[in-house]
Structure 1
Amino acid sequence: MEFTEWIRGRTDDQLRALVSARPELITPVPAHLEGLAARAASPSAIGRVLDRLDRFTLAVVETLAVQDGPVTKAALRGLIGKALAAGRPEPALSTALDRLRDLALVFGPDNALDLGPGVRKVLEEPAGLGPKAVDVFRHHPPEQLDEMADDIVPGSDGPGKERLAAVLACPEALVAAVSPEARGALDQLVWGPPTGRVPNARREVRVASARSPIEELLARGLLAATGEESVTLPREVGLHLRGGRVHRDLLAVPPALSGAARDRELADRTAAGQAFSFVRSVEELGERWSVDPPGVLRTGGLGVRDMKRTATELDLPEWVAALVVEVAHAAGLIAAGGGVDGEWLPTSGYDLWRVRATADRWVTLASTWLHMDRVPGLVGERDDRDRPLNALHTDLRRASAPGI
């Protein structure tokens, strides 16, 4: 059954549940069900809904993602059962599948369950597993793949990539042939991430000439060079080393809450004290920046030095100071201004906020934090291009933040 056909077969109540859970699918309203199906398969829409899944339900999606096609519910139950640390997969599995169908992430009957289009592509490393062999060796020269295949499956016919993929589908003999040191290197990548750094990863090496554990693995295709200094564990090898399990120590139900009980009145007083301290920190931020405003970076945001200085002046850890700055900005209390170069300055909204009662000021800040689409906790981290993530920069926006 095709995904679009499955969408057409949903009842009015089921479609209502879908768009209620994923309102971005009807903004704007699609002209027909084919348009709804296409929008449900877009990477951005899939990413948003995956971010809202609990760990077990996401594990069900990841387990389906590493299958080559539709599977039966019984087979899926067996795969999930292997990964459980304790207990049985039901009724949690049925509940998760019902929810995934409601979200249009999984479709089809119980004897042919599959992921919706686009989901596998969004899950680049499901459960910490690398790409399949046919994908991970995609950019290797054909002659190099022919040599590798001749070494590990001598006498076989066909293109090297296909012969290599065929033998890696059952890599037990290849794994058994390597040294304990090479097996130890594989074990470091088994549960993810499936990539590692190795100098001169693209070196030419044959099974007979391998002199190091890494060369043993490269020559047999148990590791693939995916960059000048990076290697990746093919998915088939990872699954074999995991003993056929997709996940490790999976829980079908959330663990019981544990911890010391606290007196409610004490908790309320402590929370009120923290709320008052946060309001005072925002006030102090506004007063200090009105006198000595930091500059706006050319790329936007607040410079690392200015962030450190602000944390010192507010006498706060840097991550707390970043939260203060981000919430104040999201609440409209500070903004970029001050001419050509730009400075971060208090706004007229700050002046109005400043004269209100403390409780009202706190409500404004707390409500802003609940609904803001920015993630202050990322300040100081680095993006996928190894650039620092600065406070007040647009790179901190995450569409899923309010829901989380």
Structure 2
Amino acid sequence: MTSADALKTWLTTRTPEQLTELLEQRLLPYSAGPGLDDPARLADHLLSANSVLLGMRSLDAAQIQVLTAIAVLAERLHGPARVSAARPGPAGFAGTNLAARPGAFTVRPPEPAERAVPRAQLVAELGEGVRPVLDALAERALLLPPHGELLTVPAVLHQQASELQGFGRPAALLLSDAYKAAEIRRIADALDLPPARTREEAQQAVVGFLQDGAAVRRLVAGAPPDAVELLDSLVPGPPLLRTHCFVPDTGSYYGATSKFHFRQGGSGDPGTDWLAARGLVIPIGIDLVELPYEAGAALRDGEEELPFEPEPPAVGSARPLPERAGGEAQAAATAALSRVELLLRATAAEPLAVRKAGGIAVRDTRRLAKAVGAPEQQARLWLDLTANAGLLAPHRDTPPPTRSRKPVPPPPARMLPTARYDDWLTAPPADRLVPLIAAWAVTPEVFSHWPEGEGTPVALISPEDPYAVPLRHALLEALARLPAGHGLGAAASLTEDTVDELIDAVGWHNPMGLQLDDEVDELVTATLAEAELLGVAAHGSLTPVGHAVLALLRAGAGRWYPAVPGAGPALDRHPELAGAVAGLRAALAELVPPPLTTARFQADLTVVVPGAAAPELTELLGSVADRESDGHAVVWRIGAASVRRALDAGADAADLLERLAEVSEGGLALPQTLEYLLKDTARTHGRVRVVRSTCCLRSDDEALVHELSRTRSLTKIGLRRIAPTVLISTASPADTLAALRQAGYAPVLEAETGTTVVERTSQERATVEMPELADARHHYGRGPATPGALAAAILRR
């Protein structure tokens, strides 16, 4: 039975939940090809190189080492598999990021069933710890059925057995793909090989020399020290090097059919030039060369022991947590919630303009940072989180009608709260934090990291870093492995050695899904700092909320972006995700105390809320007081202007006093100073009345009308007294009201009927753009659209 037939039979024995999970891990969203609701076609898809590579991107180092060991043992038992010059996918197995270059050879892939490895031999090589790893690989269909005493892996792993061990590809393939005849003869001359009549003879001579291990070792023995040092780094793998030894024969254009010339005058690096001249490194792309398989095999010390690390490397810098760690996590989560609320309220009051190039202008970000009392970097983080959680979205007004035939440019976009924001405001603190923390977990961007050389940081850029979520997941996995009650310390205080140890642990958890480049230390510390701001981590250790976020990522929440599980989409059909979101909500409910419904009123007209305020309390105080400070306690101040604002919105002074008394802490009476302020402000409120029809001002107080007509600061609205109790204005009612209030008066707007008009702030809302979970991830071939529907269709056959 072929591997495809065995896999097809095995697929039909899975439960709907198991098959759906497998498809979510391995299904490629593409439009070409037949429908995959046929088990035979689905089996072929899962055996394809790209699907296998997709499934391997979420494996840890131990799992990749086991797959590598099976492929290597198969090569030792059955000989090398047929390979092609082109790499199978966009990323190499060792974490390199190489674009596949079409090769000159196309070879039928080997049949995995013909290259099986005895299970007992693998266990003897790697130890008993390999058994649970094999079970996990079988669930992902990376270890192929039947899962008995013979082990088989997909064909692409056999084809890439050399690369999995850190070897390059065979010299014959690399030479054919890279050079024309002149360069082949030049390499043959440098190796002192006999003259050849044709290109093929010259290439065969070069390949034959490289296949002679003794000859290669003698050659390297006489190499200059710079060349030997380069070989020391290339031989263990990966066999890739950046160099300027070669230029494409097509000039500035480089395509699939391009060949390479040696750079005239050399690269400036004598060691690299020496290796290139003798065929020990061969070009595979612009400024990128590869050490051939034969050279690497000749320079290694015989048959090496197969590596297997069943546990991640320890982070030895962990130390006991301080007693205050739990309290700091609670304070961080509470402060984050308060600042996000302030940011959204400020945006609702004054929408943000979106730049033509994308993002928010720096001046607007700085204004928001000042409004929420946070550094600018944190303000950018809160903006990005609220946007990805569906609480903030761009909105474009409908352009006014025009008779012009020329296209009218659309009005600029503005960032507005969405309809979800209103429900979010009234929710308990834990429910408000869930979408923010879930958005942080699954959005493909390290928000607070801005690469050097990319200009001034801006908020609300398009998340497009494919390595961000794997990095976040691997970091939380590494922190979860620390001894209980121990942490690494705050992100800002980590030493270089601690960061290096943490990077090693992170790399073990997801070696193929990460981009371990020169900025990885900055990315790791920035991710940890963000986790601290949200209460996910404290002093370099996971909090209960952090463990809940890790469970969310383990449930596959990152696959559904731009939908954010926990931020609105229904989870009825995803019980594992629903359970993870419920766990996050429960952890937050324990971390963040219940909201306060009372406040402490003081004689100096300040109001103190010693914690997170309930939405009703916040709304009441926000209507009649100005927010002065935030932190563990929120301080409000009531003044004449804030009371007039409440009265302008239609509040009644007596009703305000009654409502404030109801929320007074301990049922204490309100201070007399507050009662006097409310009553005095109410007594003068409305003495000046603005008539809507012709923008008249009227008042029963003739002296006041006379005073207004003589006030110099009101000359800009063109006041004119037309009766002892009536003034007219050349400005609109809205501008007249604003000018009077700026001058220190307390007018109200009156309708034509004589009734007072209550002024209410316009509450514009943007459309929620986040897709529902069912619409976020699709299979775009013929047949059912989602993995769940596809699994059901397969099992019905």
- TM-score between the two structures when normalised by the length of structure 2: 0.40
How many Å apart are 1:331 and its aligned residue? 1.4
How many Å apart are 1:184 and its aligned residue? 0.8
Aligned to 1:302: 359
Aligned counterpart for 1:348 among listed residues 416, 419, 438 = 419
Aligned to 1:229: 287
Aligned to 2:446: 376
Q: What aligned pairs does 1:173-184 form with structure 2 within 5 A after superposition?
A: 173-184=218-229
Aligned to 2:485: none
Aligned to 1:72: 117
**Aligned-partner Cα distance in 1 for 2:158–2:363:** 42
Question: What amino acid is the match of 2:187?
Answer: M
How many Å apart are 1:72 and its aligned residue? 3.4
The structure-2 alpha-carbon separation of the partners of 1:390 and 1:153, relative to structure 1 and needing over 3 Å to count, comes to farther
Query: 1:82-130 deviations in whole A, cap 9, x for unaligned?
Result: xxxxxxx211333323332332223378897553145678999646654
Aligned counterpart for 1:54 among listed residues 52, 55, 60 = 60
How many Å apart are 1:64 and its aligned residue? 5.3
Alignment pair present for 1:145 and 2:184: yes
Aligned counterpart for 2:273 among listed residues 215, 224, 227 = 215
How many Å apart are 1:183 and its aligned residue? 0.7
**Aligned-partner Cα distance in 1 for 2:156–2:458:** 29
How many Å apart are 1:289 and its aligned residue? 4.3
**Aligned-partner Cα distance in 2 for 1:64–1:130:** 19
**Aligned-partner Cα distance in 1 for 2:209–2:368:** 57
**Aligned-partner Cα distance in 1 for 2:385–2:435:** 10
Aligned to 1:385: none
Contact 2:71/2:153 (8 A) holds in 1: yes
Alignment pair present for 1:133 and 2:133: no
Contact 1:194/1:232 (8 A) holds in 2: yes
User: After alignment, is 99-108 or 15-24 more displaced?
Assistant: 15-24
**Aligned-partner Cα distance in 2 for 1:125–1:4:** 24
The structure-2 alpha-carbon separation of the partners of 1:116 and 1:220, relative to structure 1 and needing over 3 Å to count, comes to same
Contact 1:205/1:215 (8 A) holds in 2: no
Identity %: 22
How many Å apart are 1:225 and its aligned residue? 2.5
**Aligned-partner Cα distance in 1 for 2:269–2:438:** 61
**Secondary structure in 1 aligned to 2:444?**
coil
Unaligned runs of 5+ in 1: 82-88, 383-387
Contact 1:223/1:233 (8 A) holds in 2: yes
Q: What aligned pairs does 1:4-403 form with structure 2 within 5 A after superposition?
A: 4-8=4-8, 10=10, 13=13, 19=19, 21-24=21-24, 30-42=36-48, 45-63=51-69, 68-69=80-81, 70=115, 72-73=117-118, 77=122, 89-107=126-144, 113-118=151-156, 126=164, 130-137=168-175, 138-149=177-188, 151-152=190-191, 154-155=193-194, 158-169=200-211, 170=213, 171-191=216-236, 194-202=239-247, 204=262, 212-238=270-296, 241=299, 243=301, 251-255=309-313, 259-262=318-321, 266-290=324-348, 291=350, 293-296=352-355, 298=357, 302=359, 315-316=374-375, 318=377, 323-339=381-397, 340=410, 341-370=412-441, 372-376=442-446, 380-381=450-451, 391-396=460-465, 402=553, 403=556
**Aligned-partner Cα distance in 2 for 1:344–1:268:** 35
User: After alignment, is 152-161 or 275-284 more displaced?
Assistant: 152-161
Contact 2:283/2:290 (8 A) holds in 1: yes
**Aligned-partner Cα distance in 1 for 2:239–2:353:** 42
The structure-2 alpha-carbon separation of the partners of 1:380 and 1:216, relative to structure 1 and needing over 3 Å to count, comes to same
The structure-2 alpha-carbon separation of the partners of 1:286 and 1:92, relative to structure 1 and needing over 3 Å to count, comes to same
The structure-2 alpha-carbon separation of the partners of 1:96 and 1:136, relative to structure 1 and needing over 3 Å to count, comes to farther
Question: What amino acid is the match of 1:144?
Answer: E
How many Å apart are 1:56 and its aligned residue? 0.9
How many Å apart are 1:35 and its aligned residue? 1.6
How many Å apart are 1:364 and its aligned residue? 3.1
**Secondary structure in 1 aligned to 2:59?**
coil
User: After alignment, is 134-143 or 9-18 more displaced?
Assistant: 9-18
Contact 1:41/1:119 (8 A) holds in 2: no
The structure-2 alpha-carbon separation of the partners of 1:243 and 1:117, relative to structure 1 and needing over 3 Å to count, comes to same
**Aligned-partner Cα distance in 2 for 1:46–1:23:** 12
How many Å apart are 1:47 and its aligned residue? 4.1
How many Å apart are 1:163 and its aligned residue? 4.5
The structure-2 alpha-carbon separation of the partners of 1:389 and 1:54, relative to structure 1 and needing over 3 Å to count, comes to farther
How many Å apart are 1:140 and its aligned residue? 1.8
**Aligned-partner Cα distance in 2 for 1:276–1:57:** 39
User: After alignment, is 8-17 or 129-138 more displaced?
Assistant: 8-17
The structure-2 alpha-carbon separation of the partners of 1:27 and 1:72, relative to structure 1 and needing over 3 Å to count, comes to closer
How many Å apart are 1:373 and its aligned residue? 4.8
Aligned to 2:711: none
User: After alignment, is 7-16 or 304-313 more displaced?
Assistant: 304-313
Question: What amino acid is the match of 1:46?
Answer: V
Number of equivalenced pairs = 383
**Secondary structure in 2 aligned to 1:226?**
strand
Question: What amino acid is the match of 1:106?
Answer: L
Unaligned runs of 5+ in 2: 30-34, 82-114, 248-260, 398-409, 474-552, 559-797
**Aligned-partner Cα distance in 2 for 1:23–1:60:** 22
**Aligned-partner Cα distance in 2 for 1:220–1:196:** 16
How many Å apart are 1:139 and its aligned residue? 2.6
**Secondary structure in 2 aligned to 1:253?**
coil
- TM-score between the two structures when normalised by the length of structure 1: 0.72
User: After alignment, is 303-312 or 154-163 more displaced?
Assistant: 303-312
The structure-2 alpha-carbon separation of the partners of 1:15 and 1:173, relative to structure 1 and needing over 3 Å to count, comes to farther
Contact 1:92/1:253 (8 A) holds in 2: no
The structure-2 alpha-carbon separation of the partners of 1:316 and 1:123, relative to structure 1 and needing over 3 Å to count, comes to farther
The structure-2 alpha-carbon separation of the partners of 1:360 and 1:379, relative to structure 1 and needing over 3 Å to count, comes to same
RMSD (Å), alpha carbons: 4.7
Contact 2:166/2:236 (8 A) holds in 1: yes
The structure-2 alpha-carbon separation of the partners of 1:54 and 1:143, relative to structure 1 and needing over 3 Å to count, comes to same
**Secondary structure in 2 aligned to 1:345?**
strand
**Secondary structure in 2 aligned to 1:10?**
helix
Question: What amino acid is the match of 2:417?
Answer: P
Query: 1:292-344 deviations in whole A, cap 9, x for unaligned?
Result: 6252555xx536958985896564484x6554333212211111223434243
**Aligned-partner Cα distance in 1 for 2:160–2:342:** 43
**Secondary structure in 2 aligned to 1:52?**
coil
The structure-2 alpha-carbon separation of the partners of 1:326 and 1:217, relative to structure 1 and needing over 3 Å to count, comes to same
Contact 2:193/2:205 (8 A) holds in 1: no
**Aligned-partner Cα distance in 1 for 2:61–2:310:** 9
**Secondary structure in 1 aligned to 2:132?**
helix
**Aligned-partner Cα distance in 2 for 1:308–1:125:** 48
Query: 1:205-250 deviations in whole A, cap 9, x for unaligned?
Result: 89xxx99222210011111223453333334444555546789975
How many Å apart are 1:34 and its aligned residue? 1.4
